Amino acid sequence: MNKQRVLFLCTGNSCRSHMAEGWLRKLGGDDFEVFSAGSKPAGYVHPLAIEAMREVGIDISRQHSKSLEEFVGQPFDYVITVCDNARDACPSFPGAAHQLHWGFDDPAHASGTDDEKRRVFRRVRDEIQNRLRLFLVACNKPQEK
């Protein structure tokens, strides 16, 4: 069986796209080959994104920030932008069979105490999980627990 190839795009490739990549690897199992990239890569994965995902048993600490340029010319079943800036920077992606947009708040811009910032990361993490569960249902794919 061929794995479906999915690329998540955001601006910095430091939070949302990495969380989405981690979630789809977990929930989609072996049915997907998953990547993430940014239009202006930050060069790191945000520590609070790593922490938020670790809380739900997903380790994204080995992922790294990448430029979308690394993936131009590759075929993807889905290219999913997870922020408005990435959608604007990349209105169409060559090689994408389907291009989707899911707008999520950027938790990297959260302000307040460390606990307040963590709450924003957790909220966005959970919103991404919920959206991916709907995506898997739409794709008729069973979900891992």
In a domain, 144, yes or no: no
* pLDDT reading at 12 higher than 90: no
The residue segments making up the domain with residue 55 are 4-138
132 vs 29, more confident:
132
CA distance to 23, 46, 63, 125, per residue, from 54 (Å): 11, 12, 13, 11
Residue 21 maps to which CATH number? Answer: 3.40.50.2300
Residue-wise pLDDT for 80-107, tens only, equals: 999 876 555 555 667 778 889 898 999 9
Q: Give the mean pLDDT of 8-36.
A: 93
Q: Is 90 a catalytic residue?
A: yes
Q: Give the mean pLDDT of 94-122.
A: 91
Rounded distance, CA 7 to CA 80, Å?
6
Active-site annotation holder among 20, 24, 50, 83: 83
Cα angle 87-92-94, degrees, rounded to a multiple of 5: 135
Q: Give the mean pLDDT of 39-50.
A: 93
Specify the pLDDT at position 88.
Answer: 58
In a domain, 42, yes or no: yes
In a domain, 35, yes or no: yes
Give the total number of structural domains in the chain. Answer: 1
Structure tokens given for 140:
């008729």
Q: Is 15 a catalytic residue?
A: no
Specify the pLDDT at position 91.
Answer: 53
In a domain, 133, yes or no: yes
74 vs 86, more confident:
74
Specify the pLDDT at position 94.
Answer: 72
Active-site annotation holder among 82, 90, 128, 136: 90
Active-site annotation holder among 6, 7, 9, 10: 10
Quick check: pTM over 0.85? yes
Report the amino acid identity of residue 59.
Answer: D
In a domain, 48, yes or no: yes
In a domain, 16, yes or no: yes
CA distance to 2, 18, 27, 96, 144, per residue, from 141 (Å): 13, 21, 9, 20, 10
In a domain, 145, yes or no: no
In a domain, 37, yes or no: yes
